Structure 1
Amino acid sequence: MEIIQVVGLGLIATFLILVIKEQKPVFAFLLATVTGIIIFISLAGKIAGIVKILEHLAVQAHVNQLFLTTILKIIGIAYITEFGAQVTRDAGQGSIAAKIELSGKILIMVMAIPIITVIIETVMQILPT
């Protein structure tokens, strides 16, 4: 049922934006941004539930908490970067959106270095010398 609410909100906002856009483009942009934020916040509870399940599975599998935390941070960076880039594109600033995406990719690489290091070390231990 939640998807119907999300899509309904999106369709109503889209209709209002189309009506308002010619008279007050700034308000249309603000409405689009607020709608996106409302949708994002409404899903925050679902995201928290997913994180709890993943933490529980990681404990059962004896996975290092550092790895799970890092992966969750990487996923968060990806979602926030995508949201920011989309809002910026909606404002007609494609070049700034591209810079936001580039920054997100760089931050993801920085966050992934500890995991990549462990993977390389593990492969080096497995390979015969």
Structure 2
Amino acid sequence: MDIIQVVGLGLVATFLILVVKEQKPVFAFLLATVTGVIIFLSLVGKISDVVGVLTRLADQAKVNTMFLETILKIIGIAYIAEFGAQVTRDAGQGSIASKIELAGKILIMVMAIPIITVIIETIVQILPA
């Protein structure tokens, strides 16, 4: 799905949501959520292509796959947390959305510890004693 289709779907969904929201707010929220999920799922193929290219580049550069896997997991956590927070915020639950964002940031920090450790160890080895 290219950007024209994504924007078109988003605009049509927005128009429908505005029309339905007055009579059936629950249905409007459901329509918004389903639209977001459809857009996300339509991009899974593109995400797969990017992961394939990054994996190939990492193999060619002989980079430890643990680093690439960790970075991809961190990116995934960021996107999923952002999507969840936006859906929750759309439902009028800004407080819960903030907690989802906080959880995503903490999980990212935890996942980054091995990479940070390797970087610090490398710097310590390079520095003169």
TM-score, length basis structure 2 = 0.99
1:9 aligns to what?
A: 9
2:19 aligns to what?
A: 19
Gaps of 5+ in 2: none
1:71 aligns to what?
A: 71
Distance 1:120 1:94 in 2: 37
The runs of at least 4 consecutive aligned structure 1 residues that moved more than 6 Å come to none
3-state SS, counterpart of residue 23 of structure 2: coil
User: Equivalent residues in 2 for 1:39-58 (5 A)?
Assistant: 39-58=39-58
1:92 aligns to what?
A: 92
Distance 1:67 1:82 in 2: 23
1:81 aligns to what?
A: 81
3-state SS, counterpart of residue 68 of structure 1: helix
Distance 1:9 1:119 in 2: 44
Deviations, residues 44-85 of structure 1 (Å, cap 9, x unaligned): 000000000000000000000000000000000000000000
Identity across the alignment (%): 81
Distance 1:46 1:87 in 2: 22
RMSD of aligned residue pairs (Cα, Å): 0.7
Distance 1:126 1:86 in 2: 44
Distance 2:89 2:128 in 1: 50
Q: Does 1:101 align with 2:101?
A: yes
Which letter maps to 2:78?
A
Distance 2:10 2:21 in 1: 16
Deviations, residues 82-105 of structure 1 (Å, cap 9, x unaligned): 000000000000000000000000
Distance 1:98 1:20 in 2: 27
1:127 aligns to what?
A: 127
TM-score, length basis structure 1 = 0.99
3-state SS, counterpart of residue 27 of structure 1: helix
Across the two proteins, how many residue pairs are aligned to each other?
Answer: 129
Gaps of 5+ in 1: none
